[in-house]
Structure 1
Amino acid sequence: MCLGVPGRIVKITSAEHQLAVVDVEGVRRKVNVGLIVDEGVTAGDWVLIHVGFALSKIDEEEAQATLAFLAGMGDPYTEELEALFESRIE
């Protein structure tokens, strides 16, 4: 199962390459924001992430509701978080 996971942009690391560091449940990883760059993403914004790409900008209420829903799913969400932990940046 593939999931879109909410994360909060920590910083834009490369405007040229459209990359940002995003925090997902305490795990930071690089994410491509090129698909939503026209939405004016900045540090502090919440985004929905799938396979290393931010697919849409979401508000904090939606992000928290989605995180709660995913946590209630159990194994699929746990597996997705484990994959994120393995790909985190230091």
Structure 2
Amino acid sequence: MTLSPLNHLTPAEKRVVLLLLEGLENRAIAHRLVISHRTVECHISRALSKSGCRNRLELALWLIRNGDPALDRQRREGTMPPMPA
């Protein structure tokens, strides 16, 4: 069984990159998740590093090609677990 590349991301990084995949900008992601803009930047930076991608577009394409179907289904259905307090 092959693990999804998303398994290398923390739950917070997953939430951020899935919103990035929806086309949201950093400030909109921060607003949606009720976290700081800087925190979003850090999560994206770590996701870029872990995925080997150079920019947001490459990261989005990487997610489309290698994403976790269960997480994608949760995102579409609006059933993703909330951010931890």
TM-score of the superposed pair, with normalisation by structure 2: 0.36
Structure with the larger RCO, 1 or 2 (CA within 8 Å, 6+ apart): 2
TM-score of the superposed pair, with normalisation by structure 1: 0.34
In proportion to residue count, which structure has more strand? 1
